[in-house]
Amino acid sequence: MTERLQLRQARRLVIKIGSALLTNDGRGLDVAALGLWVDQIAELIEDGVEVVVVSSGSVAEGMSRLGWTVRPEQLHELQAAAAVGQMGLVQTWEAQFKRHDIHTAQILLTHDDLSDRKRYLNGRGTLRALLNLGVVPIVNENDTVVTDEIRFGDNDTLGALVANLIEADGLIILTDQLGLFDKDPRKHSDACLVTERRAGDRELDAMAGGGAGVLGRGGMQTKLRAARLAARSGAFTVIVGGRIEGVIGRLRQGDVIGTLLLPEQGRIAARKQWLASHLQTRGRLTLDDGAVKVLCLGGRSLLPVGVKGVSGQFRRGEMVSCFDQSGREIARGLVNYDADEARAIAGRSSDRITEILGYMSGEEMIHRDNLVIV
Ligand SMILES: Nc1ncnc2c1ncn2[C@@H]1O[C@H](COP(=O)(O)OP(=O)(O)O)[C@@H](O)[C@H]1O
Ligand SMILES: N[C@@H](CCC(=O)OP(=O)(O)O)C(=O)O
């Protein structure tokens, strides 16, 4: 199946591991299983793949540490369990990755963090920096501060949002079933595994039951929704059994295991479409001829040195238009600096940004990933 080649070619992946799997169905963290996934992730990293782990399990691990056998109803009790359990979770990830001389970093996110443009950019910057440093970010929802309204509600959605955030090639969801079946396999012994579909395929809705296990919250419905969300930035999703021996390595080899849910369009096309259609422009940059030439060749970022003029009042992260000196629009993109800062660094070399502004939020005025030629 040629689509499985995408797994071999992926350079950046988000791997989400669900509560039921990680906590051995509630018996506390399954350190042995976690160690095996870490060995496989270390191999991916060795192979040049950047990996972000989205790890559930804090509530379940907290319950187990506190000796609770029934998931509490009260939000504060859940949050307390999560706070206790998160300690064990990150300690275990760090200890397991240490065997491979790989550092980990704890990232706790709320929905608000990703809907606020500035925090979104900062989160993305931090994740990128960690990946550049060869560190594996271990992401979970920030259960301590979330309330019902702002909860992701499940880590499947969080996994997809992180995949959007870092423009991952794919999202791998490890769960307690072999993949998505045409009906809930816990209830129907004749259920058949779905191997490959378009994420947007409406037939899938009827197949994915909402009910999750006792520990998890999502069920297959949230996994399907996550796949659709990931597809918006052109990422594929695989829903697959985390207990399959060598699961991550086998996916990487292109083995047909689990359910592959494909985006309607490729990553770059999806991103560019989003950039071109979703945002209003807030300002204008006038570029010198050199910058125009470089941008038109494609695949390059816009550096401050190529900017001759800045107009409008825009904030970092907002969309601006780029014009050549005859007034022709060349490109649009999400700018890395507020308007006043952009004015101060226009025409200057990137290595002077810190000296001029006192800080740097990227050597580019607009990063190539956030730039679309019009
Ligand atoms: N069509 C389906 N295919 C597979 N599993 C399904 C389906 N419909 C519902 N489920 C249920 O979803 C559960 C997995 O979801 P969940 O418990 O949230 O896992 P996780 O903790 O890995 O996120 C399965 O154990 C299964 O009972
Ligand atoms: N932040 C919570 C997430 C729980 C959760 O929804 O898990 P999952 O069912 O695996 O998506 C935890 O760590 O327990």
Ordered by where they begin, the domains of the chain are: 2-266 (3.40.1160.10), 278-371 (2.30.130.10)
Ligand approaching nearest to the C-alpha of 183: 1
Which parts are annotated binding residues?
Answer: 16, 56, 143, 155, 175-176
pLDDT at position 216, please? 47
What residue owns the CA closest to ligand 2's atom 6? 154
Q: Nearest Cα to 370, choosing from 297, 279, 305, 283?
A: 279
Best CA proximity match to 212, nearest among 186, 250, 238, 251: 186
Atom of ligand 1 nearest to the CA of 217: 18
- Alpha carbon of 298 to ligand 1 centroid (Å): 43
* 319-323 and 170-175 strand pairing: unpaired
Q: Give the ligand 2 atom nearest the CA of 218.
A: 9
Cα angle vertex 214, ends 208, 220, to 5°?
A: 15
Q: List the chain pLDDT tens, one digit each, 374 residues.
A: 578 988 999 999 999 999 888 987 777 899 999 999 999 999 999 999 999 999 999 988 999 999 998 888 888 898 999 999 999 999 999 999 999 999 999 999 987 787 776 778 788 889 999 999 999 999 999 988 887 654 555 799 899 989 988 989 999 999 989 999 999 898 899 999 999 999 999 999 999 865 545 444 567 899 999 999 999 888 999 999 999 999 999 999 999 999 999 998 777 677 776 676 656 788 999 999 999 999 988 779 999 999 999 999 999 888 899 999 999 999 999 899 999 999 999 999 999 999 999 999 889 999 988 888 88
Q: Counting ligands in written order, which one lies closest to the CA of residue 243?
A: 1
CA-nearest of 284, 322, 290 to 306 is 290
pLDDT at 279: 60
Question: Closest residue (by CA) to atom 7 of ligand 2?
Answer: 216
